[in-house]
Amino acid sequence: MATLISSPETAGMEAFCASLPSTATSSKTFDRLRKVGHYRKLKSGSEIRGHIRRDRLVFLVAGATKMVAATANSKAFCEHAVAGFENPSERISHILAFHFPGEFITIINQADGDVRLTALTDAALVLFPFDRFLDVAQDDPAIIRHVISRSVQSLYRCQARMLQITHKSARQRIAGFLVSMARNLGSCNSGSCEFTLPMTRKDIADSLGLTIETVSRQFANFTKSNLIKTRGRNGLLLLDISRLQAEAG
Amino acid sequence: MATLISSPETAGMEAFCASLPSTATSSKTFDRLRKVGHYRKLKSGSEIRGHIRRDRLVFLVAGATKMVAATANSKAFCEHAVAGFENPSERISHILAFHFPGEFITIINQADGDVRLTALTDAALVLFPFDRFLDVAQDDPAIIRHVISRSVQSLYRCQARMLQITHKSARQRIAGFLVSMARNLGSCNSGSCEFTLPMTRKDIADSLGLTIETVSRQFANFTKSNLIKTRGRNGLLLLDISRLQAEAG
DNA sequence: CGCAGTCTTGAGACAGATCAACTCACGTGG
DNA sequence: CCACGTGAGTTGATCTGTCTCAAGACTGCG
C-alpha cells in the first residue's frame, strides 16, 4: 500500500485509481486499466480535438479544463493559429462544461458536434479509448457501475444547468456560477471564500449564455451589494456564499 | 422465434427486448430482464413521481411522455389535486425532455430535483429498478454497452439542446422543435409531413424556455411564411421540412 | 515602460416577457 | 344534435432585461 515516491505519471494513474471504488477484486483490474490509459499533460490553452476517431473517456488529474462546442454555422473557426484573431463567428461558441480534478469527461465523436477539450490552466489527465476502457471495466461490476453512475450524474447536471440558463436572470446565473466555483475551487459551501478563477469573462459568458458585458456588469452589481470583491483580473473573494446561494434561487 | 399472439404485457416486453442488441448469448439475459421489469400503462395526464426511493430505468413502449422538473422555489406545487388550478409558481416549471416509443428514460432520485415523468397521451412502459437492471445487464457485455451508449447519447443531446436554447432566437427554436417532432411523430426528414402534437403550447414553451404567447406568435409567423398549417388545436402540417431545418440554423 | 488584450462602463436598440382582452376548439350535458 | 361553458390559444400594447455598439481604463506581459 505504501507507494514509493512515484513519477508524475504514476502519481496521475494512482489518483485516477483512487477515485474508483476500491473493491477487493479489483487490483488486477487497476493494473489492466493502467495499461489502457495514457497519461498526458496539457499546457494552458492547448486542447484535445474533437475529430478524434474514437470516443474517449478522460480523467482529469490536475488543473482545469473547458469543453467548447462550435455550432455548425460557425464551423469556419480559425485553427487557433495566431491566437487572438477574433473571428466574428467566434461569438457563437458555447462552453458545455468546466471540469476540475477528479472528474470524468466523455468526449464523443458526434457528427455535427465539433467539440474540443481545452485546458484553462496547465493540466494533467489520463486518456482512455472509451471502448478499451469498457473492455476492462466490464469485468468489474463496481467500476462499470461507477462509470454509469457518473454518466447519469453528468446528464442530470446538464439538465440542471439547462434549467438555470433557461429560466433565470443574468444575476441569478452569475450567482449560481460563483457558488459552484466556490465548491470546486475553494471547497466551501458557506461563509466566505477566496480563489482564483481559471477562466476569462468570455468563458463565463459563453457557459451561461450571456455576453461579457453582462457578466462584467453583474460582477459590478455584486460588488456594490457587498457580496463579492474582485482582486485584480482573476482573483475573487466571495463574502457570503449563503446569500449568493439565495440570489441564485 | 415465432411468438404466439401475446398479451399486451408480453408485447411490451418483446418490444423492449427487440430494441436491445441481440447477441447469441443473450436469450437467457432477456428472460432475466423480463422478470426484473414491470410493465405498466399510464393514462394521459398521470405521472410517475420523482420521490421514488430508487433510481429507475424506463423503456417507453407506446405513447409519449414529458419529463418535468420543478425548481426549488416553486416546490409549493399543488399536488395536481383538482387539475387545472394554475398556481402562479407553476410558471417556473421546465420540461427537460419529451420521449417517444423506443426510448430509454432514466429517472434519478436527486436531492433538489423534483422530477416527474408525465404521460402526454395514454402510454405503455416497462419499469426497471436501475440497480436490478444493472445486476442482470452486467453479465451481458452487449447490453451494458448499449445502456452506456444510450446514456452518453442522452448527455450529448442534452448538450445540443442547451446550445439550441442558449444561442438561438424564438423562431429558430420553434423551427428546430418542429423538425424534431417531424422525425419523432411523422418519421420524416424532408418534404411535407402531417401529425398531431401530443403536447400543449405550454409544454412547448416550457421545453424551449419561451412563453406560450411567443410560441403562438411564432406558429402564426410560420403559417404566414407558408411553412406550416395548423389543423385545429393540435393538428399540424409541415409544408417544407428542409426549409424549416434551414430556419433552425 | 509601453503595448495588447481584457475588462469595465455608458447609451441606445430590440427580442421576448408581461399584462390584458378576445376568440376559438372541444367536450359536456341537455 | 346543438347550445353552452371552460380552458387553450391567439392577438395586441407596452415594458424590461439583455444585447449591441462604442469608448475608455486597467492588468499583466514583454
Task: Decide if A148 and B147 are in contact by the 8 Å CB cutoff.
Answer: yes
Chain B residue closest in CA terms to A165: B166
CB pairs under 8 A between A and B: 93
pLDDT exceeds 80 at position A70: no
The more confidently predicted of residues A181 and A112 is A181
- Percentage of residues of chain B with pLDDT beyond 90: 47
- Report the range of poorest mean pLDDT among A74-88, A223-237, B26-40: A74-88
- Percentage of residues of chain A with pLDDT beyond 70: 82
Task: Give the per-residue pLDDT at B233.
Answer: 93
Interface test mutation site (partner A, options B158, B161, B177, max chain A beta carbons within 10 A) = B158
Provide the shortest C-alpha distance from residue A180 to chain B (in Å).
15
Give yes or no for a contact between A214 and A169, defined as CB atoms under 8 angstroms apart. Answer: no
Q: What residues of chain B, 1 to 30, have a C-beta less than 8 Å from chain A?
A: none
How far is the C-alpha of A233 from the C-alpha of B209, rounded, in Å?
33
| Mean per-residue pLDDT of chain A | 82
As a whole number, mean pLDDT of residues A131-137 equals: 89
pLDDT exceeds 70 at position A72: no
Chain B residue closest in CA terms to A167: B209
Task: Decide if A163 and B69 are in contact by the 8 Å CB cutoff.
Answer: yes
- The listed range with the strongest mean pLDDT (A25-29, A166-170, B92-96) is A166-170
pLDDT exceeds 60 at position B100: yes
pLDDT digits (tens, 9 = 90+) for A51-64: 567 889 999 999 99
pLDDT exceeds 50 at position A88: no
Phi, psi values for residue B27, rounded to 5°:
-60, -35
Task: Give the per-residue pLDDT at A138.
Answer: 83
- Report the range of poorest mean pLDDT among A75-84, A144-153, B182-191: A75-84
Task: Give the per-residue pLDDT at A87.
Answer: 40
pLDDT digits (tens, 9 = 90+) for B105-118: 998 876 566 788 99
- CA-nearest of B247, B249, B222 to B237 is B222
B201: CB within 7 A of chain D nucleic strand: yes
pLDDT digits (tens, 9 = 90+) for A160-169: 788 778 888 9
The more confidently predicted of residues B15 and A184 is A184
Task: Give the per-residue pLDDT at A2.
Answer: 43
Task: Give the per-residue pLDDT at B81.
Answer: 33
Residue with C-alpha cell 422555489? B73
pLDDT exceeds 60 at position B89: no
Confidence grade of residue B174 (pLDDT, cut at 50, 70, 90) = very high
Task: Give the per-residue pLDDT at A23.
Answer: 60
Q: Where are the alpha helices (DSSP H) in B25-117?
A: 27-36
In DSSP notation, A71-139 reads: -GGG-----S-SS----GGGGGEEEEEEE-TT-EEEE---SS-EEEEEESSSEEEEEEEHHHHHHHHTT
Task: Give the per-residue pLDDT at B218.
Answer: 98
Tell me which chain B residues have a C-beta less than 8 angstroms from the C-beta of A141.
138
pLDDT digits (tens, 9 = 90+) for B203-244: 999 999 999 999 999 999 999 999 999 999 999 999 999 999
Confidence grade of residue A145 (pLDDT, cut at 50, 70, 90) = confident
The more confidently predicted of residues B123 and B8 is B123
Chain B residue closest in CA terms to A210: B166
Q: Maximum distance among all alpha carbons in chain A?
A: 56
pLDDT exceeds 70 at position A222: yes
Task: Decide if A96 and B148 are in contact by the 8 Å CB cutoff.
Answer: no
- CA-nearest of B136, B114, B138, B123 to B58 is B123
Tell me which chain B residues have a C-beta less than 8 angstroms from the C-beta of A162.
94, 96, 158, 161-162, 165
A202: CB within 7 A of chain C nucleic strand: yes
pLDDT exceeds 80 at position B177: yes
Q: Which of B92, B113, B156 comes nearest A167 by C-beta?
A: B92
How far is the C-alpha of B52 from the C-alpha of A249, rounded, in Å?
25
pLDDT exceeds 80 at position B69: yes
Give yes or no for a contact between B240 and B227, defined as CB atoms under 8 angstroms apart. Answer: yes
Confidence grade of residue A25 (pLDDT, cut at 50, 70, 90) = low
The more confidently predicted of residues B36 and A113 is B36
Confidence grade of residue A80 (pLDDT, cut at 50, 70, 90) = very low
pLDDT exceeds 50 at position B62: yes
Q: Is A20 helix (H, G, I), strand (E, B) or coil?
A: coil
Q: What residues of chain A, 160 to 179, have a C-beta less than 8 Å from chain B?
A: 160-163, 165-167
Task: Give the per-residue pLDDT at A237.
Answer: 95
A234: CB within 7 A of chain C nucleic strand: yes
